[in-house]
Structure 1
Amino acid sequence: MRFKCQIKNVNLFAKFCASLASLGQIAWCRLNDEDVQFTIVPDKGSQVWSVLKIETVFDIESYILQSASEKNTINLEVPIQALSRALRSAYGATSTQIRLTKKDNVPMLSLTIITNTFSSGNNAVAVPAAATEGAVPDEFDFNDDFAAPSMTPANRGGPRERETIITQDIPVKVLSMEVVERIHQPRTQEPDVNIYLPPLAQVKTISERFTRLAIATSKSSSSTSPRLELSANMHGSLKISLKTDALNITSRWTGLTNPELDPAQFQDGLEGVRNHPSTKMKELAGPNGENEAGWSKVRIDAKDWSRVLSVGRVSARVIACFINDGGLVMYVYLPNDENGSEDESCLTVSLGSLTCDP
């Protein structure tokens, strides 16, 4: 079993892991020859199912993966918060490598981070060659944000480039195929409304303001999370509402975009588009979209919703799919490179009462 690769897009990978870390402590990571999958299925709260194309964050030419399973599949249980903290050390690094290794018989995801800095001869610390020859970089304590750096010897006198190597080790658990076969993505019906969300930072600010007001005016325990009502229609409108004994407030966005359905995705083509629930909801909403029958509504836990909105740090392109009185599925699209690409990876977040495949 072997995994080793250069991380080419450290910033995106770090933001991605930070978003997952806000939703759970443990992630299931599946590596194979085609893609990389991260999944979080907590006992309570939102589920995350993400599929990253290898080239989205890794250097495809250095991607080495070997195992006895089909497609060289390796399944790992990863403490995602520890991985997120370790990746912070790689911001601005010259090179970052990730590999699966073992220390003291414990499987590890090991990050080797190389940075180059310039220093003057007066400030450089000279390290005898005997002290560094064959030395192993300091290991990572995942309770700390940063590991102590291991540095190359410094030249005496004159400005010089100094290479710093940081190694961070994250303990993981290798999962058997029998264990992961019991993990299934929620099965959802066709959505009633599909809509591009406004900037999630904006949505998060308003949602948290509503939540604070609800807690401040509630007679129950402050530890009880209020529930927000989210609703949208196929005429580009989205609403967030909060109704309690003391409050009845709503924030509304208009002029948003509803994605067009692709007839090629349906077995019966245009007929499938015409019979789709979202097409019928658009007709029910009327020409101006104000008919309440054309709005799809879901009620979600406010604190859980706030955590979900942290995915906004990863991408500004998010589609929300509303299943009336059922659940909400968010698709967060990640471009393969900094210049954007039509071929994208996707992070899927499921909220609400969704059933799982058997």
Structure 2
Amino acid sequence: MRFRASIQNIHTFTKFTASLSTLGHIAWVRLDEKDVRFTVIPEQGTQVWSVLSIDTIFETYTIQSAAPNNTINLEVPIAPLQRALKSAQNAIAANIRLTKKDNIPLLSLTITTMTMNSSAPCGSAGFNGRNGSGENGADGYDAPDEFREESAELFGARGQDRETTVTQDIPIRVLAPASVEGLHEPRCREPDVHITLPNLMQLKSISDRFTKLALSTKTSTRTGFTSSASGPKLELSGNMHGCLRLSLNTDSLRISSLWTGLENPELDPEQNSEGEAGLASHPSTRMKQLGDSTGQSEEGWATVRVEGRDWGRVLSVGRLGGRVIACFCHEHALILYVFIGGNETGVGESVLTYYISSYSA
């Protein structure tokens, strides 16, 4: 079993893992010849099923296993991976590989940086030492084992740049194919409304403000918020005329924000088993016959209720940019499709899929 790759887009990879870390601690990572998949399934809250094209993140990519398509399944702690990637932001090269140390499987991230050799005298050897997270390793791992720092130039002149290589090891689990066979994306019915969301960071700012207002009121009758443990609920609604509405209803206030002029993407007949006839009877086609583009009509809206803090964490994916399409299954679920890449030459499009269950009224 082998896996080795050079990372060509460290910033995207870091932002991606940061968005996952807000929703769960562990990711199921599936590597194969076609793509890279990260899945987060927390005990409560939003599930994430992401499919990344290899060239979205990696430049060179080598994988080998006994499974079909050379598939390797891993269980990876997200926070240590994110911290390792953050340390590589200024690297001139970064590589990741599957390895083993003391019979413990690891993802080993090796980064190369340029440093100024201003203090080491001529003829001094490279430094092998602890990392800067503290004597005992603030991230919960044994620092000497996890960080190995070496000088690429054993003899360097004072004041000259030199390459420094740092390796960080992330303990993981290698999963047997049988243990992940039963994992599959949630099944949802056809959406009633599909709409392109506005800028996610703007939407997050307003959503977080509503959540703070709800927390300050302590109780809400219509959202089902009765304690700080359950968290305030926000109503998110959309129609097939480019309108999106975010609402907060408590026993002491009612407030909402309305976006108009958004896009309702056209459905592709080839993606429907019944073709054009299937689109004619699609729920979104029927919903398009109701309501209007002003957002004032109460007809034609599909609504879901989301937990405010969980919703705010989902919206952190906005740091990746990209197009986001929201699919509303009225009173049942909200599915977000986040598309990244695809506009860059030679880079395939990747999609992150978020499944958010709706709370009852």
| TM-score, scaled relative to structure 1 | 0.89
One of 258, 261, 266 as aligned partner of 1:255: 261
- Which residue of 1 is the match for residue 156 of structure 2? 155
Report the count of equivalent residues: 344
CA distance in 2, matches of 1:256, 1:83: 36
Q: Quick one: which amino acid aligns to residue 124 of structure 1?
A: S
Post-superposition shift, 1:184?
1.6
154 and 200 in structure 1: CA distance in 2 versus 1, 3 angstrom threshold? farther
Q: Percent identity?
A: 50
Q: Is the 8 A contact 2:242 2:293 kept in 1?
A: no
SS at match of 1:284: coil
Q: Quick one: which amino acid aligns to residue 163 of structure 2?
A: E
Post-superposition shift, 1:342?
8.2
Post-superposition shift, 1:285?
1.8
Q: Which runs of 5+ in 2 are unaligned?
A: 220-225
Q: Is the 8 A contact 1:4 1:64 kept in 2?
A: yes
One of 100, 119, 124 as aligned partner of 1:124: 119
Post-superposition shift, 1:176?
0.6
Structure 1 residue 107 corresponds to structure 2 residue 102 = no
Structure 1 residue 204 corresponds to structure 2 residue 204 = yes
Structure 1 residue 22 corresponds to structure 2 residue 22 = yes
CA distance in 2, matches of 1:300, 1:263: 31
One of 342, 347, 353 as aligned partner of 1:348: 353
Post-superposition shift, 1:137?
8.1
Post-superposition shift, 1:126?
3.2
Q: Is the 8 A contact 2:53 2:349 kept in 1?
A: yes
Q: Is the 8 A contact 1:53 1:336 kept in 2?
A: no
CA distance in 2, matches of 1:340, 1:289: 38
- Which residue of 2 is the match for residue 275 of structure 1? 281
Post-superposition shift, 1:289?
5.4
- Which residue of 1 is the match for residue 238 of structure 2? 232
CA distance in 2, matches of 1:287, 1:232: 11
- Which residue of 2 is the match for residue 213 of structure 1? 213
- Which residue of 2 is the match for residue 68 of structure 1? 66
Q: Quick one: which amino acid aligns to residue 212 of structure 2?
A: R
SS at match of 1:212: helix
* Greater mean alpha carbon deviation, residues 137-146 or residues 31-40: 137-146
SS at match of 1:189: coil
332 and 341 in structure 1: CA distance in 2 versus 1, 3 angstrom threshold? farther
Post-superposition shift, 1:150?
2.8
313 and 341 in structure 1: CA distance in 2 versus 1, 3 angstrom threshold? farther
Q: Is the 8 A contact 1:124 1:155 kept in 2?
A: no
Post-superposition shift, 1:125?
1.1
Post-superposition shift, 1:217?
1.4
CA distance in 2, matches of 1:336, 1:110: 28
- Which residue of 2 is the match for residue 40 of structure 1? 40
CA distance in 1, matches of 2:8, 2:302: 41
- Which residue of 2 is the match for residue 58 of structure 1? 58
Pairing of 1:159-178 with structure 2 (within 5 A):
159-178=159-178
Q: Which runs of 5+ in 1 are unaligned?
A: none
CA distance in 2, matches of 1:239, 1:340: 36
Q: Quick one: which amino acid aligns to residue 270 of structure 1?
A: E
One of 137, 140, 145 as aligned partner of 1:143: 140
Q: Is the 8 A contact 2:122 2:157 kept in 1?
A: no
| TM-score, scaled relative to structure 2 | 0.89
Q: Is the 8 A contact 1:208 1:306 kept in 2?
A: yes
SS at match of 2:140: coil
283 and 317 in structure 1: CA distance in 2 versus 1, 3 angstrom threshold? same
18 and 320 in structure 1: CA distance in 2 versus 1, 3 angstrom threshold? same
CA distance in 2, matches of 1:166, 1:341: 30
Q: Is the 8 A contact 1:138 1:167 kept in 2?
A: no
CA distance in 2, matches of 1:234, 1:51: 27
After superposition, what is the alpha-carbon deviation per residue over 1:293-326, rounded to whole angstroms, capped at 9, x for unaligned? Answer: 3000001111110111111111231111110000
Q: Is the 8 A contact 1:234 1:289 kept in 2?
A: no
Post-superposition shift, 1:218?
1.7
* Greater mean alpha carbon deviation, residues 195-204 or residues 259-268: 259-268
Q: What is the aligned-residue RMSD (CA, Å)?
A: 2.4
After superposition, what is the alpha-carbon deviation per residue over 1:80-131, rounded to whole angstroms, capped at 9, x for unaligned? Answer: 1110111001102110000000011100000000012345xxx2313746x4
- Which residue of 2 is the match for residue 331 of structure 1? 337
